[in-house]
Amino acid sequence: MDEFVNLKATELRLGLPGTNNVCEERVSCNSNNNKRALQADAENETETSPPRKTQIVGWPPVRSYRKNNVQTKKNESDGESQGIYVKVSMDGAPYLRKIDLSCYKGYSDLLKALELMFEFSVGEYSERDGYKGSDFVPTYEDKDGDWMLIGDVPWEMFECNCKRLRIMKGSEAKCLGSGV
Amino acid sequence: MDRAIKLQLSTSEMNYFPDEVIEHIFDFIPSHRDRNSISLVSKSWHKIERYSRHQVFIGNCYAISPERLIRRFPCLRSLTLKGKPHFADFNLVPHEWGGFLHPWIDALSKARVGLEELRLKRMVVSDESLELLSRSFVGFKSLVLVSCDGFTTDGLASIAANCRNLRELDLQENEIDDHRGQWLNCFPDSSTTLVSLNFACLKGETNLSALERLVARSPNLKSLKVNRAVPLDALTRLMSCAPQLVDLGVGCYENEAEPESFEKLMAAIKKCTLLRSLSGFSEVAPVCLTAFYPICENLTSLNLSYAAEIQGNHLIEFVQFCKRLQLLWILDSIGDKGLEIVASSCKELQELRVFPSDPHDEEDNNTAVTEVGLVAISAGCPKLHSILYFCKQMTNAALITVAKNCPNFIRFRLCILEPNKPDHITSQSLDEGFGAIVQACKGLRRLSVSGLLTDKVFLYIGMYAAQLEMLSIAFAGDTDKGMLYVLNGCKKLRKLEIRDSPFGNAALLADVGKYETMRSLWMSSCEVTLGGCKRLARNAPWLNVEIINENENGRMERNEEDEREKVDRLYLYRTVVGTRKDAPPCVTIL
């Protein structure tokens, strides 16, 4: 029994260490344009960052176009020559990888590379239902701190907005599809 | 309306004039509201007005159908259409909600309307629509797209290639899929009519030689706004062949401009003596702003709100010399001190917008603006009539002072970044401050409130804001009374948008007829229930009552509906064409 408890403690999952569930805060509104978002703290044990302030959807009322375009100071380095490096984690894998998004021409390019890197396959994408046919779902964290499904937005928008990638597996992946 | 014309129109003798004379008189009345009034006078005036109406403004594309529009105004030349509700700008409306352009282009094309101008806001535009547009209207001159999406540079290529008389292509803040194609190359060599070209929002590369050739053969070009992919030396060449430019949007400068390129740029800028408006600067080193010093005294409009890389002190250094400025859009990195300098330098200022450089307060910086900057501006700029101000804190005393200094506000939008924040000195609500604003500013047409607010602020708004047309409310009020004060008091109210406020069915249903006088009502995360919305829809068949569901993938299950269930997002609007047929699954129209 003790062994079982120890295993649980080392399991990589969404949520702060010590919490049991993926918790959803009803902070005014759970959905917005094309986000199938899980609202949860995406802290995992390998990273230390300050606790993020709860972000309210659509607040402050700044147009998304403007929000996306005034972030240059923070996330992008000068020009495309330095690349857009983001971390990639996969549920169950012991360590993370890092890739340069600017090396890829589009989603199919990127997904093929991820499939090779982590040795898995990603299933069929449809706009309505997400990825079907695989236990693995590719997601990314955007500038607003939300976890999004890879493939929903135009590639350029994704390049600008993506902070890091996570290949979700199993039950959490299924949760994303239901939009709850 | 001009008094002389009013007098003429009131004379019954007018009816004995031939139609052409009456039509000629109507030509002097461009305002669509006045023309709407004219058309109500008599049957013959209605008919004359119909055939002579060239410009039509449709604030909500679902209020009327394209077929009915064309039947009534067959001589239409200029059309303005707005689609998604305002809160779509802040991700509160699903991407697939609606606002499609295609049915409009399709109908206009089939009816062979002589369309020349199209202005769209928050519409979904496809490449197919743009292609059809480019092929259907020979005299097409002007396309203005604001906050639209759904199209790519392929669509732009059709416009470039097929619109022989194109004068204006103005793309403002759209989400455009950039295929990195050669759309600029698609302007034929014979195309020399361009007056305005704005592609600042395109994210991909730009064919610089195509752009230079296009600019060189467009002697009438007055407005040019390029995207980030146009570097400094290209900009210099462009300005050299277009010294007649009045309005310029710059793209990207290298961080360390060589002294020689910088000199060349300054020389080119010096020749642009007609330049009055400047924008862009999204990726520039501050030193490059200084290249514009030679002409900064001529500037009447300056938009540095995307210049995240330019620090406050550089902004201040530049703006203080722009003595003729009427419009200024800037980031809050300018700080209160910067605004004080603006107040002492820019005496002609009419419109100010201060945007947050750090909307989510991630960097915990202290350079954002406060009530101090706002008061300084109000004291120093007597002509100020429009303001959008994002700030960290506010006080009633400051707002009362602002109201005293600037009774001429037409638009007053204040956004305190933290919801429900009280007066930071007295800890009271900001009711009195906003109350002072609406009481003093008798011509106020648009108002956005924020901070800690009770029902009282709405009592004041209802009592004093007689000209108010648009009101935005967030995290405010205590009871239904608040919303009722507004609905009962503001006779000219057209658009009301509310989020996260405790207004419910009692307020929603109190005066159903009110909504016939308004364009639309938006309520999200309030207390209205499904039952309340259903009752409203039953009592007002001329309204479309839309419920936007949380669960994007499914409709509301009929047998699982609970009338007491709170509605997450409600959007209702008057319409003469009933329920729309293009709503996605996440939208239920009652």
Q: Which of A60, A16, A140 is nearest to B472 (CA)?
A: A60
The domain locations on chain A are: 85-174
Find, in chain B, the residue whose alpha carbon is nearest to that of A154: B177
Q: What is the mean pLDDT of residues B451-455?
A: 97
Domain A85-174 has what CATH class? Answer: alpha beta
Q: List the 166-195 stretch of B: residues with Cβ below 8 A of A.
A: 173-175, 177-178
Q: How confident is residue B323, by pLDDT bands cut at 50, 70 and 90?
A: very high
Residues in B touching A55 (Cβ below 8 Å): 360
User: In chain B, how many H helices and how many E strands?
Assistant: 21, 23
Size of interface A-B (CB pairs under 8 A): 110
Query: What is the rounded distance in angstroms from the CA atom of residue B348 to the CA atom of residue B13?
Result: 46
Query: What is the rounded distance in angstroms from the CA atom of residue B28 to the CA atom of residue B38?
Result: 12
Query: What is the rounded distance in angstroms from the CA atom of residue A140 to the CA atom of residue A159?
Result: 11
Given an 8 Å threshold on Cβ–Cβ distance, is B201 in contact with A65? yes
Q: List the 30-49 stretch of A: residues with Cβ below 8 A of B.
A: 30-36
Task: Give the lowest-confidence range in B78-92, B199-213, B246-260, B283-297.
Answer: B246-260
Mean pLDDT for chain B?
A: 91
Find, in chain A, the residue whose alpha carbon is nearest to that of B283: A72
Q: How confident is residue A82, by pLDDT bands cut at 50, 70 and 90?
A: low
Percent of chain B at pLDDT exceeding 70: 93
Q: What is the secondary structure of B395-431 as a DSSP string?
A: -HHHHHHHHHH-TT-SEEEEEESSTT---TTT---SH
Given an 8 Å threshold on Cβ–Cβ distance, is A63 in contact with B331? no
Peptide bond into B18 cis (omega under 30): no
Given an 8 Å threshold on Cβ–Cβ distance, is A59 in contact with B90? yes
Please name the member of B92, B361, B448 whose beta carbon is closest to the beta carbon of A53. Answer: B361
Q: Mind listing the pLDDT tens digit for each residue in B476-495? A: 999 999 999 999 999 999 99
Are B535 and B503 a contacting pair, CB within 8 Å?
no
Please name the member of B93, B308, B448 whose beta carbon is closest to the beta carbon of A70. Answer: B308
The per-residue pLDDT for B556 is 52
Q: How confident is residue B259, by pLDDT bands cut at 50, 70 and 90?
A: confident
The per-residue pLDDT for A46 is 40
Residue burial A79-118, b: 16+ Cβ < 10 Å; e: rest: eeeeebebebbbbebeeeeebebeebeebeebbeebbeeb
Q: With an 8 Å Cβ cutoff, is A105 touching chain B?
A: no
Q: What is the secondary structure of B122-173 as a DSSP string?
A: S-B--HHHHHHHHHH-TT--EEEEES-EEEEHHHHHHHHHH-TT--EEEEES
Q: What is the secondary structure of B302-320 as a DSSP string?
A: EE-TT-TTS-HHHHHHHHT
Residue B58: phi, psi to the nearest 5? -120, 105
Q: Which ranges of B381-520 does DSSP label H, i.e. alpha helix? A: 396-405, 431-440, 455-464, 480-489, 505-509
Q: Which of B476, B485, B546 is nearest to B510 (CA)?
A: B485
Q: How confident is residue A53, by pLDDT bands cut at 50, 70 and 90?
A: low
Find, in chain A, the residue whose alpha carbon is nearest to that of B567: A29
Given an 8 Å threshold on Cβ–Cβ distance, is A58 in contact with B91? yes
Q: Give A71's contacts (C-beta < 8 A, 6+ positions apart).
A: A143, A160, B308
The angle, 0 to 180 degrees and rounded to 10, between the axes of the packed helices B232-241 and B259-271 is 30
pLDDT at A174 over 70: no
Reported pTM = 0.78
Residues in B touching A148 (Cβ below 8 Å): none
pLDDT at A28 over 50: no
pLDDT at A8 over 80: no
Given an 8 Å threshold on Cβ–Cβ distance, is A66 in contact with B173? yes
Higher-confidence residue: A75 or A170?
A170
Q: What is the mean pLDDT of residues A116-132?
A: 84
Given an 8 Å threshold on Cβ–Cβ distance, is B282 in contact with A28? no
**Chain B interface disruption, residue of A35, A49, A65, A68, most B CBs within 10 A:** A65
Are B101 and B125 a contacting pair, CB within 8 Å?
yes
ipTM of the complex: 0.87
Higher-confidence residue: A125 or B241?
B241
The per-residue pLDDT for B522 is 98
Query: A180 to chain B, minimum CA–CA distance in Å?
Result: 6
Residues in A touching B355 (Cβ below 8 Å): 62, 66, 70
Q: With an 8 Å Cβ cutoff, is B333 touching chain A?
A: no
